[in-house]
Structure 1
């Protein structure tokens, strides 16, 4: 039998989020039922609620940074037991048979990954998946993650999106001890990039337009701060970076950042899911430089990140809110008035 859960969602692109009752599927053989304790607030939640990217199906129940306790498991579940602290990120299903899935890159499933919200729901015909702004969720065990009990579960919530989004490119491009790594933009993604690059032993440079962010960047683990609006500072760092992680969430000028790369070095985009301003091909050609992109991470890599966070005591810097304050929180996210991620305490919904 399916069950009902309290949730917060939006009924239209111009509507506030409000209290709703939603249906969750019955626990099947390979399912894990989770009582949600905390859920992070991602900018993608806002984009989907407001249909900024098109394709939103209403009601939208956002939330893909989920931390909770296991309350039930199916008869075939081997990885989890009742009482375990677990996480669910941006994915809740994939085909498991394509080359991407077999390579533990479920986010690139060639038959279409099922995202935690606003994806077709194969269990309820004609409905879409509902996310973590809810009291509970049922997820296939293959898409559930073990959360180390050594880290704060509230601060762990944003690791399921902001964390893996920055961890994955740092690992894929083999950032290592002694590398000079630039992190562009100090927000929900950027602050995690600084923490991870520092823990990996890199020399971390926070690249920002805002001198006011310098002290915070250094507190988070940056060794230097480069003000990108200062031509003299940019000139001093030209051609010196082994790797740049670009977290700017909107279209922007690329040429100044390309100029910072060493020969054969890479800048990876994780923020701007939209058209970029034209850039000069010569900046890439004269130095065999690369611009690449990266999307979250697969389940195996996400578990590796969580385990790394457990070993190094890394969590996100957060502000905890009640579910009832979500509409105000959205406005604050849009005006960059949060350090650096909101997390909803689901006790406020129960």
Structure 2
């Protein structure tokens, strides 16, 4: 299938149009016309080579919303015209204990990311959602509920599941006290989801400049990490803290905020972290943990949860040819919304 997308041709080049071929349908494949593609901070890290060398040219994008246009002969879950999504992974071994437990993101053989990885069958590099079409095996395609606005649903497939999974793992519910570090793409979804689960949510940030925004999302307000007295007063006041900061930083300032047996979960930064002081952890049996997206079953759960509670990410819709400007803005700071590309603006002849 001939298609076109925006690709990085090197770590220091601007994104540019790229014509390429999607694979012919295998028996269990679903072909999708991509309507909207979310822009994630990890896309920027990847194309810049921050996480190591990449197989350029590389088409990023793992927040994909579209409609089915064709299915393979063994596909039973989807048909042409269905509203569907594809998230951060497109394959796994399907045989190990983690895959059987619906935790494909922790596949013992390694899950196959939506872009930048060898396909498990033919070894070709997977290419992501900054394109007009994608072909994905049925088991990794998700149903988009009718109640969700397709133009705003894409970030649920990364920002949504990345924050939903630890909220579920640590059993957040009515009465839970949750802190969210950062109010960017991940952070604003963490607030919305935790509030919908019944938690009391506080945003943790360097300043209170986004306090009105935090409150509009359902948070009680902002605790400024630079306010020494306020931080002392908040000691032991959280059961769970989600750390959504996407750059290297020190968690020591936040760990005393956890109550006994509380957990700080890192979901933002991928890579080195600053050294931290162990005393607050020892003195309160506190934990620092990590969490990686969620399995396909749980990703469907967050889509259904968002539909039930009318939760949509805060999105700015852009044209595909505006991707470089969006990357420039993202590189300068943590924006409090997600960019989503309207792929109808890209023609095959571009």
Which of 64, 70, 76 is 1:78 aligned to?
Answer: 76
Task: Report what 1:336 is aligned to.
Answer: 333
Task: Report what 2:305 is aligned to.
Answer: 308
When the two structures are superposed, what TM-score results if normalisation uses the length of structure 1?
A: 0.97
Cα contact 1:11–1:60 (8 A) shared by 2: yes
The size of the alignment, in residue pairs, is 347
Cα contact 2:65–2:153 (8 A) shared by 1: yes
Task: Report what 1:96 is aligned to.
Answer: 94
Change (3 A) 1:243 1:143: same
* Mapping 1:86-125, distance limit 5 Å: 86-125=84-123
CA distance in 2, matches of 1:193, 1:135: 30
Task: Report what 1:230 is aligned to.
Answer: 227
The CA deviation at 1:338 is 3.8
Which of 246, 261, 268 is 2:265 aligned to?
Answer: 268
SS of 1:286's equivalent in the other structure is helix
The CA deviation at 1:123 is 4.8
Change (3 A) 1:190 1:337: closer
Task: Report what 1:17 is aligned to.
Answer: 15
Cα contact 1:166–1:189 (8 A) shared by 2: yes
Cα deviation digits, residues 62-98 of structure 1 (max 9, x gap): 0000000011111111111111100000000000011
CA distance in 2, matches of 1:280, 1:268: 16
CA distance in 2, matches of 1:239, 1:37: 45
CA distance in 2, matches of 1:179, 1:81: 41
1:36 equivalenced with 2:30 (yes/no): no
CA distance in 2, matches of 1:274, 1:114: 19
What is the root-mean-square deviation of aligned Cα atoms in Å? 1.1
Segments of 5+ residues of structure 2 without an aligned counterpart are: none
Cα deviation digits, residues 171-225 of structure 1 (max 9, x gap): 0000110111100101000000000000000001011112111111111110121
Cα contact 1:319–1:339 (8 A) shared by 2: no
Task: Report what 2:285 is aligned to.
Answer: 288
Cα contact 2:183–2:336 (8 A) shared by 1: no
The CA deviation at 1:37 is 0.1
Task: Report what 1:138 is aligned to.
Answer: 135
Cα contact 1:48–1:60 (8 A) shared by 2: no
Cα contact 1:318–1:339 (8 A) shared by 2: no
When the two structures are superposed, what TM-score results if normalisation uses the length of structure 2?
A: 0.97
